[in-house]
Amino acid sequence: MKKLFYNTNIESLNYKGGNRKLDHTYYNACCFLGHRKIEASQELKDRLYKAIEMLITDKKVTSFLFGSKSQFDTLCHAIVTKLKEKYTYLERIYVRAEFPYIDEHYKEYLSKSYEDTYYPDKILKAGRAVYIERNYEKINKSNFCIIYYNKKYMPPKRKQSKNQVAFYQPNSGTKLAYDYAIKKGLEMINVFI
């Protein structure tokens, strides 16, 4: 896949362009994917702000899909919320991996931070892979992705079960999402510093 760079002042962003057709319900969407723990430096915040604003102004992105469970999602949500003050038409969509059915109280709570939320039906029986499947859903509903992906990162080793003595090296969920996004032809910006 050839590397492309948008004509911006963010020369060091890693951009991968793809030919992706819109096949989702959101007009022009961007999802966020990244490691659970990040170092939220001012440099990273500035890069994210510029990348998100560039997608809004140059690529006409109007919808942003968020997950949960990661510091990167939290940081991206804060930046999109700040940009929403300037671009009031932006939609923040929370793609839930938990709570397939939510009551009115929780909907009201979420409506303070998101314009929409949904739980994808296909992840209902995903089991331990629920977050991976949720990330795939976000990718499938987007044509842009801002990702925080350190290619050298490896999650801690785990036991396959409580009774096992041996440990195994699990795959990084962010790596799985990154590989899937490339396979799907998503246009990506890696903001990892």
Find the domain containing 136 and state its range.
14-190
* Residue 4 domain-assigned (yes or no): no
* Residue 83 domain-assigned (yes or no): yes
Exposed e or buried b per residue across 127-141, where buried means at least 16 C-beta atoms within 10 angstroms of its C-beta: eeebbbbbbbbbbbb
Q: How far apart are CA 96 and CA 51, in angstroms?
A: 24
Number of structural domains (the chain) is 1
Per-residue pLDDT of the chain (193 residues; tens, 9 = 90+): 222 222 223 333 333 444 333 333 556 899 999 988 888 899 999 999 999 999 999 999 999 999 987 899 999 999 999 999 999 999 999 999 989 999 999 999 999 999 999 999 889 888 888 999 999 999 999 999 999 998 886 666 667 777 776 665 557 788 899 999 999 999 999 999 7
Contacting residues for 96 by C-beta, under 8 A, at least 6 apart: 68, 102, 117, 118, 119, 134
User: In this structure, what CATH number is given to the domain that contains residue 167?
Assistant: 3.40.50
* Residue 7 domain-assigned (yes or no): no
For the four alpha carbons of 90, 173, 161 and 69, in that order, the dihedral sign comes to negative
* Residue 25 domain-assigned (yes or no): yes
* Residue 128 domain-assigned (yes or no): yes
